[in-house]
Amino acid sequence: METSSSSPVKPRRKDKDEDKFRIGATLAFIVVIIGIGVPMWWRTTTVYRVNLPSTEILSLSETPIKTAVQVAIYTQDTSRGQLLIAELQSAFSDNEIWSVEFKQLSPTPKTQEAHTPAALEKLLLENHVQSVGDFMFIEWPKLQEELLLTTERSALMRSDTPSNKIAQLLHAKILQTYRINQILSTDDRMGAKSEAPQPAYDVIVSVLNPKPRLTHAKWNIAMAVKTYIEPWLAKVSGVSNYTVRSQWKYRVAIEADLKQVRDQSKLGRHYALQETALPHLLTSIAQNLSASTTDKPAINLVVYIPPCHIAPLHIYNSKDQRLTRNDVDAFISPPWGGFIIANPPEHVCLSAMSDQEAVPYHVSTTDNMQVMLDQLHKLLDISSELQMEGVKVVDIEQLEPRRWEYEAYLRRSAIRHISTASSTLQSLIKLLDQISYIVIDDEVGAAITNSYADILAAKAALLEHRLADASVLAKRAFVASERGFFDASLLAQLYFPDEQKYAIYIPLFLPIMVPVLSSFNMLRGVLQARRKEKQS
């Protein structure tokens, strides 16, 4: 009886011991897989992303770009000055772009003793300090034009010039409101927008002489560049930096159909280059010009010396009208650069046509450099080409652009940099929201955050009448936004989406998860058996 009663107890204790070990092993297995393995897998496969001010960046467009400008007005009669300012304040009161402060300058004994407009302008500019971007209107009764724009931050006006004419000049030439509207508008019908100025450019001055043995042209182009181009570019380097180099190129012929035209010169003819063939001409010579050795965009300034058998060479339009201006044949092709045709002197070609020895001659530095500087004005988008009736602009006599013209370019570039940087950051944030597996490392995050901070600072500087600071901040914001948008690390996992990730990891983890799930089922069965045993 004792044997039969004790035999069933031992297996029961053995089963309980086995259940304890089984439950312990199962729990340990589950803890290792779920508690350690799954978090480790999640951590190692999670896309690293720095926290970004996404909401703030997307709301950048809600705060408009507004610029503060101070305009001083000097009149001989104080009441006329007050009336002009009241009318101008009313004209600019509801403007969404400009915050214009009009300041009246009263006459003094010294100003009344000025006998020339230049003396009056010099006196007023010396006694009234102006910030970058400010402007001044100076009344001079004997002026022929209604308004005369000088090379400084000033314009002379006649005593009968109305306020609406002054407002028109401010909008068209000084503030260039129509161009600012083009930058800020999202409507494509406003016209084509030019690209934002880049932080640095390579300026390459090339002299092409296809027949150096027959056309013995002499020109110290390196000295000409140092004398004219480099000082001028140094004056406009507030927006972009410029690296200038010069070169001679030989045996580079243009590929264009030329037409001989009879004339009354001693040579008895010249050759016509059709305006429609100019793009093909640039294409034919571009491959022979040495490209920039850096990643900076290049501005090409080419002086072409045609050989005497096709010289003189002049540009004609589709109506067979000669486009030579001031004895110069030249054209520009933004943003590629400019092209000048420097025809040899007539006596050089007469000698060449008589099969005589080539006559050496010097290329005119002054003529060609003046044209080249004018081309740079237009290529860099500094010049204001808009014409107004009753308004005259003083010709440039110094080796620098007009101050009001350059500061308008500075203001326009700052607004364009802010607008472009804002659009770039917003596009990047939208892209990152749509594609969750793009990596955002610390460097890209810092570029985006710094660009956003500089955009806010540049907007504040424009509104606080600090154009020079705003230009620096806006340029820095633009550079940082471009660096963040085009950073190569953004492409690290671009071709490894979540679907592909799961397709790779599921076959690896599924065999491991099957025992885990079966262990859960076994654990549930053991716990249920114990519960029934306790109940019984």
Residues 473, 457: contact at Cβ < 8 Å? yes
| 68-183 CATH choice from 3.40.50, 3.30.70, 3.30.1490, 1.10.10 | 3.40.50
Say what the pLDDT of residue 239 is.
93
What pLDDT is stored for residue 493 in this prediction?
Answer: 63
Contact 436, 88 (CB under 8 A): no
Predicted pLDDT of residue 293: 65
Let me know the angle formed at the C-alpha of 410 by 227 and 127, rounded to the nearest 5 degrees. Answer: 85
Sketch the domain layout of the chain as residue ranges: 2-46+496-535, 68-183, 200-379
* Nearest CA-CA partner of 252 in 207, 299, 312, 202: 207
Would you state the torsion angle of the CA atoms of residues 101, 106, 110, 113, taken in this order, to the nearest 10 degrees? 110
First to last CA, the chain: 25
Calculate what percentage of the chain has a pLDDT beyond 70.
90
CA 526 – CA 513 distance, rounded (Å):
20
Instruction: Look at strands 269-274 and 258-262 and give their pairing.
Output: antiparallel
Residue among 384, 455, 445, 380 nearest 417 (CA): 455
Q: Can you give the pLDDT at residue 330?
A: 95
Quick one: pLDDT at residue 5?
A: 46
Peptide bond just before 335 cis, omega within 30 deg? yes
> Would you mind telling me the total number of residues written for the chain in this entry?
536
Q: Would you state the pLDDT for residue 88?
A: 96
Q: pLDDT digit string (tens) for 302-326?
A: 999 999 999 899 999 988 889 888 7
* Closest of 175, 193, 234, 188 to residue 412, by C-alpha: 175
**Token pair recorded at residue 263:** 């004339």
Query: With contact defined as beta carbons under 8 Å apart, do 207 and 221 qualify?
Result: yes
Q: Tokens representing 124?
A: 């007023």
Residues 6+ apart with CB under 8 A from 192: none
* Consecutive H or E run containing 478: helix 467-485
> Residue 15 has what pLDDT?
60
Q: Tens digits of per-residue pLDDT, 135-182? A: 999 999 889 999 999 999 999 999 999 999 999 999 999 999 999 999
According to the model, what pLDDT value does residue 229 have?
95
Taking the C-alpha atoms of residue 335 and residue 318, their distance in angstroms, rounded to an integer, is 24
Rg (CA), the chain: 38
How many whole angstroms separate alpha carbon 271 and alpha carbon 259?
Answer: 5
Phi, psi at 493, each rounded to 5°: -120, 20
CA 123 to chain CA centroid, Å, is 38
Instruction: Please name the residue that has the structure tokens 């099957």.
Output: 514
> CA 134, CA 467: separation in Å to the nearest integer?
9
For residue 322, what is the DSSP state? Answer: B
Query: DSSP letter at 53?
Result: -
For the chain, list residues with pLDDT below 70.
Answer: 1-19, 41, 44-45, 187-194, 290-293, 493-501
Total Cβ atoms within 10 A of residue 298: 18
Tell me what pLDDT residue 195 has. 81
